[in-house]
Amino acid sequence: MQALIKPALFFIIIGLIIIISKRVTKNRIFQRLNFLDSFPIIGIWIVHVITMTNHGFSFLPVFVLIWMIMGIIFLIYRVVSEGQLRPKLFLINFWRASDIYWIIIFILSLIIKIITIH
């Protein structure tokens, strides 16, 4: 659990930077950012640290592969259902789905880590 301190502090620092930048700047990009939008980036690092075994193996490549397959399937669905691709709308929706995906993976990894420690 000692290895989780650095990612947790990094997550808190990123959150504080987002909150401060929303209050200080008038830029539209910073105004639309949520604290949750930074989770996929940090979640990848945290999940790697949590799932690291004694032999240096991590489940992160498997989770990233599933995430990319999910993105490709979502992309194909959007093109088939709408007949065209609107990149901005796709990227926003994919990023929101990524938020949910990495939170679920983080919670599952944390539960598995807690179970295997005892």
What is the predicted pLDDT for the residue at 73? 94
- CB hemisphere CA count around 103 (13 angstroms): 11
Model confidence, pTM: 0.73
What is the predicted pLDDT for the residue at 99? 86
Check if the beta carbon of residue 36 is closer than 8 Å to that of residue 16. no
What is the predicted pLDDT for the residue at 71? 92
Condensed to tens digits (0 to 9), the pLDDT of residues 12-56 reads 777 777 677 666 777 666 566 666 777 787 788 888 888 887 777
Condensed to tens digits (0 to 9), the pLDDT of residues 65-90 reads 999 999 999 999 999 998 888 888 88
H helix runs in 5-86, sequence order: 5-24, 28-32, 39-50, 60-82
Dist. CA 31–CA 82, nearest whole Å: 29
Check if the beta carbon of residue 3 is closer than 8 Å to that of residue 54. no
What is the predicted pLDDT for the residue at 6? 67
Q: Which of 62, 59, 58, 69 is nearest to 97 (CA)?
A: 69
